[in-house]
Amino acid sequence: MTDRFDYIIVGGGNAGCVLANRLSASGKYTVALIEAGRKGQSHWVDIPAGFSKLLTNPRHNWRLTSQPEEATLNRVISIPKGKGLGGSTLINGMIYVRGQPQDFDGWAQRGCTGWSFDDVLPFFKKIEDYDEAKGDLRARGGPLPLTTVKERPAIGRAFIEAAKAAGHPENDDYNGPSQDGFGYYQVNQKDGRRVSAAAAYLDPVRDRPNLTILTDAQARRILLEGGRATGVELCQKGVTRTLHCNAEVILAAGAFHSPQLLELSGIGDPEILCKAGIDVVHAAPGVGANYIDHFCTRMNWRVTQPVTLNEMTRGMSLVKSVLQYALTRKGILTYGTGLVHGFLRTRPDLIGPDVQLFFLHASYANAAERKLDKRPGMTIGVTQLRPESRGTVHISAPTIETPPVICPNFLATPEDRRAMVDGMKMTRDVVAQAPMDAYRGHEISPGEACQSDDDWLQFARANGQTIYHASGTCRMGSDAASVTDPALKVRGVEGLRVVDASIMPTIVSGNTQAAVFMIAEKGADLILRDAR
């Protein structure tokens, strides 16, 4: 097997699968895709509801954790990150949200030329095979099948009607002209099965002779000579190998592992590198800074009728559901993490929603591990869409085997705290409306005793979790402090790019997987343009 390629892609997750497909498509370039995990072979990967079985499985999940921080009462917060070909698209809730046009216009305003909404829309459309596509904003025929959730229980419709009673609009396509309102989530599924990035982009092209896929291959560092990336050192099944590149090394390892690899290669803040025992090759203080994630609280209610997933996933009900899914690919096993969406403005002067809701007719005894209650219940996740708080992701040791130190710095600003508190209050108001009377029992958490803003904030501090939308740690920009430029090239190093969620200057308003697909599609286009 050759050890020399035109392009070496580090990370076989969401972005890596797209890049491998697009860069190898012409047959002109040799491409290597390096993935630390394996092919996602568990049957739980294909079953949408199987994500709950994979969240704690080290074969499919890096199982990262945050550092204890005072703002979240010194709790260690679990941070799932997908491991294997397909990355987090193997274990996520499959929710597909582009974000708001002003997210991308904001990137362009910050100096990221070529990243306005008008610029990125063609790449969003290139991704999509949306079965309800209409108008100029949506598309059919792309690699990724998208559909609106098909299972629509009466309690979900009641929640939408309650939102309307509270003054919010119904919206059947939040990826269309407006994000505001309530409706059913769109997911990357086909015929009741999860469609991961690997299934959509990699599986159809695995046999291309110019594409080499290396699994169980942990990249250790980027090789640098004379200010240029020349290859990657990796360990595959205990054997150290070196891959050399003719054109570029492309980091697509995500918001935790891309900055980690840069720092292990001597690219980063000199003070951080020296403390970890790494020689400074190129000073780039922005590496690992600007960490952004969505912080989410989960409000729970007891439900007065046996119509929730809590009881449907036990005993004979579960047996029937398994048989239904096996025969028809329908039923409760097609559910992900959200049934009904809500996008709200907590202030009337905002130009777009600043809070997102996730309604599911299930409640959790352990939300982090998705262990369901035994009695009927429902959960509404509440997250602020555009947090101002910024954290860090840095190495603490000179080896890839030591996980990065993750400091989210959640709830660090007054606006973040206000938006979370107001979002939870508005959620309680929706559930209090008459259409929910037939289902609404007592509020389990935070409970009716929670009334003051201080009560709400304390609940958020004590119970909030990340919803796994890590981004920003290799920030794109036109200023000297940015890690990557608008072409996604690492500043000060030739032949090296980052193409994943870490390049986001600010986080998008919603689940991040759609934006990562777009970033990878646009990144591949930028790379191929430079190759001409």
Residue 150's nearest CA partner among 120, 184, 193, 121 is 184
From 257, 282, 341, 469, active-site residue: 469
Unique residue bearing structure tokens 């981004």: 471
- Give the pLDDT score at 186: 98
Active site residue 469: yes
Tens digits of per-residue pLDDT, 198-245? 999 999 999 999 999 999 999 999 999 999 999 999 999 899 999 999
Tell me the pTM. Answer: 0.97
Q: Which residue type occupies 23?
A: L
Band of pLDDT at residue 41, cut at 50, 70 and 90: low
Say how far apart CA 391 and CA 327 lie, in whole Å: 47
Q: What is the mean pLDDT of residues 241-257?
A: 98
**Mean per-residue pLDDT, 290-313:** 95
Q: How far apart are CA 132 and CA 125, in angstroms?
A: 13
Sign of CA dihedral 459, 410, 408, 345: positive
Rounded-to-5 percentages of helix, strand, coil across the chain = 30, 25, 45
pLDDT at 463 over 60: yes
Rounded to whole angstroms, how far apart are CA atoms 199 and 192? 14
Q: Is residue 282 within 8 Å of 263, Cβ to Cβ?
A: no
Position 27, amino acid: G
Tokens encoding 469: 């939308």
How many CB atoms lie under 10 A from the CB of residue 442?
A: 10
Q: What are the sequence ranges of the domains in the chain? A: 150-184+295-384+411-463
In sequence order, the 6+-apart residues with CB closer than 8 A to the CB of 229 are: 222, 223, 245, 248, 249, 493, 494, 495, 496
pLDDT for residue 366 is more than 70:
no
Query: Beta-carbon neighbour count of residue 177 at 10 Å?
Result: 12
pLDDT at 364: 80
Q: What pLDDT score does 137 carry?
A: 98
Region for residue 521 given its phi and psi (left: phi exceeds 0; alpha: psi -120 to 50; beta: otherwise):
alpha
Q: In what order do the strands lie in the sheet with 144-148?
A: 128-130, 144-148, 186-187
pLDDT for 369 equals: 61
- Residues 382-412 pLDDT 10s: 999 999 999 999 999 999 999 999 999 999 9
pLDDT at 93 over 70: yes
| Pair of tokens at residue 493 | 């190093």
**Closest by Cα among 392, 84, 89 to 260:** 392
- Which helix (H) or strand (E) element contains residue 46? helix 43-46
Q: What is the 3-state secondary structure (H, E, C) of 85-108?
A: ECHHHHCCCCECCCCCHHHHHHHH
pLDDT tens-place string over residues 100-140: 999 999 999 999 999 999 999 999 999 999 999 999 999 99
Chain mean pLDDT for the chain = 95
pLDDT tier, 368 (very low <50, low <70, confident <90, very high otherwise): low
Q: Which tokens sit at 381? A: 């996740």
* Mean per-residue pLDDT, 267-294: 98
CATH architecture assigned to 150-184+295-384+411-463 = 2-Layer Sandwich (3.30)
The average pLDDT across 492-521 equals 98
Chain Cα centroid distance, residue 252: 13
In the three-class reduction of DSSP (H, G, I as helix; E, B as strand; rest coil), residue 72 is classed as helix
Confidence grade of residue 466 (pLDDT, cut at 50, 70, 90): very high
Does 1 score more than 60 pLDDT?
Answer: no
Range with the poorest average pLDDT among 55-64, 215-224, 426-435: 55-64
Start-to-end CA distance of the chain, whole Å, equals 27
Per-residue pLDDT tens for 72-89?
999 999 999 999 999 999
* Per-residue model confidence as pLDDT tens digits over 153-206: 999 999 999 999 999 999 999 999 999 999 999 999 999 999 999 999 999 999
Q: Which tens digit of pLDDT belongs to each residue from 469-486?
A: 999 999 999 999 999 999
